């Protein structure tokens, strides 16, 4: 992931312009597991809320109101003591004409440390296609971005492993969001279900989770959740009929010095 922006003068300029947005989030009980671990789906909801708040802060909530995430990467580096009080910092890390990579760094008063990056597509709700970002958005939100044009590249294999096992999982009506598709955080709930079968992996840090969306899910799809472990990596898939709606993984990383 691109590093955080730390050079004092540049950082101050980007904070003043709104290109870097900061906010506080209090970890609530539903985001914490019984063993006091901050769950992936809880982090995913903080990312979504911070994104909407950032758009409002820049006065772009009405101009670019609908976004679809294609991939999210969450690295939980330090678990901290939960429930923690988090400071989140969000900025565009690379821009395209219709999409962007967005970085969010999270630090907790009680030791939580998380790094994330997501590939977001600006979405036209009428045509159901990617929509061009405005020039002012590209220059304002994109002021913190690294140079170069962002292009999509798939990371995870959408084809389930032939030895994958099924994990019980059920979609609910409450999982639908404002644009009538299964909310992004629900996929992370599915990944948490998979992780519950591997307590030795769940308890290790740092952990990297990835969710890569291939197609939208609806309630009537009744998807199956499949999983397969290879050493320190668990791969998972949400499959609806013959199509893979999402490919996912959780990997134990080497501890940082």
Q: Per-residue pLDDT tens, the chain, 257 aa: give them.
A: 999 999 999 999 999 999 999 999 999 999 999 999 999 999 999 999 999 999 999 999 999 999 999 999 999 999 999 999 999 999 999 999 999 999 999 999 999 999 999 999 999 988 889 999 999 999 999 999 999 999 999 999 999 999 999 999 999 999 998 878 899 999 999 999 999 999 999 989 999 999 999 999 988 999 999 999 999 999 999 999 999 999 999 999 988 65
The fold adopted by the segment(s) 155-256 is: Thiol Ester Dehydrase; Chain A (3.10.129)
The fold adopted by the segment(s) 1-153 is: Thiol Ester Dehydrase; Chain A (3.10.129)
How high is the pLDDT of residue 87? Answer: 98
How high is the pLDDT of residue 9? Answer: 97
Q: Report CA 159 to chain centroid distance, whole Å.
A: 21
Please list the residues that pair with 85 across neighbouring strands: 26
How high is the pLDDT of residue 257? Answer: 57
Retrieve residue 99's tokens. 């999409």
Retrieve residue 191's tokens. 């990944």
SS3 85: strand
For residues 46 and 169, what is the distance between their CA atoms, to the nearest angstrom? 23
In CATH terms, are 1-153 and 155-256 the same topology? Answer: yes
Query: Domain coordinates of the chain in residue numbers?
Result: 1-153, 155-256
For residues 207 and 202, what is the distance between their CA atoms, to the nearest angstrom? 8
Contact yes or no for 176/183 (Cβ under 8 A): yes
**Count of other CB atoms within 10 angstroms of residue 141:** 26
**How does DSSP classify residue 179?**
T
Whole-structure pTM value: 0.96
Contact yes or no for 128/181 (Cβ under 8 A): no
How high is the pLDDT of residue 179? Answer: 74
């Amino acid at each position: 992931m691109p590093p955080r922006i730390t050079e004092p003068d540049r950082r101050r300029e980007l904070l003043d312009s709104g290109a870097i947005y900061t906010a506080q989030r209090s970890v609530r009980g539903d985001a914490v597991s019984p063993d006091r671990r901050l769950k992936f789906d809880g982090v995913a909801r903080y990312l979504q809320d911070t994104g909407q708040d950032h758009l409002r802060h820049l006065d772009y909530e009405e101009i670019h109101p609908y976004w679809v995430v294609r991939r999210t990467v969450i690295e939980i580096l330090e678990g901290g003591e939960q429930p923690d009080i988090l400071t989140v910092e969000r900025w565009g890390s690379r821009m395209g004409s219709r999409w962007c990579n967005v970085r969010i760094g999270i630090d907790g008063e009680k030791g939580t440390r998380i790094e994330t990056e997501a590939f977001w597509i600006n979405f036209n709700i009428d045509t159901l296609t990617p929509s061009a970002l405005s020039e002012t958005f590209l220059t304002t939100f994109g002021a913190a971005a690294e140079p170069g044009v962002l292009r999509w590249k798939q990371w995870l294999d959408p084809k389930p492993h032939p030895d994958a096992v099924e994990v019980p999982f059920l979609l609910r009506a409450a999982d639908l969001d404002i644009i009538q598709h299964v909310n992004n955080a629900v996929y992370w709930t599915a990944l948490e279900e998979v992780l519950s079968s591997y307590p030795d992996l769940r308890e290790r840090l740092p952990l990297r989770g990835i969710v890569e969306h291939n197609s939208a899910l609806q309630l009537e799809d009744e998807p199956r959740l499949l999983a397969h472990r290879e050493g320190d990596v668990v791969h998972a898939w949400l499959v609806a009929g013959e199509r893979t709606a999402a490919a996912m993984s959780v990997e134990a990383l080497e501890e940082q010095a």
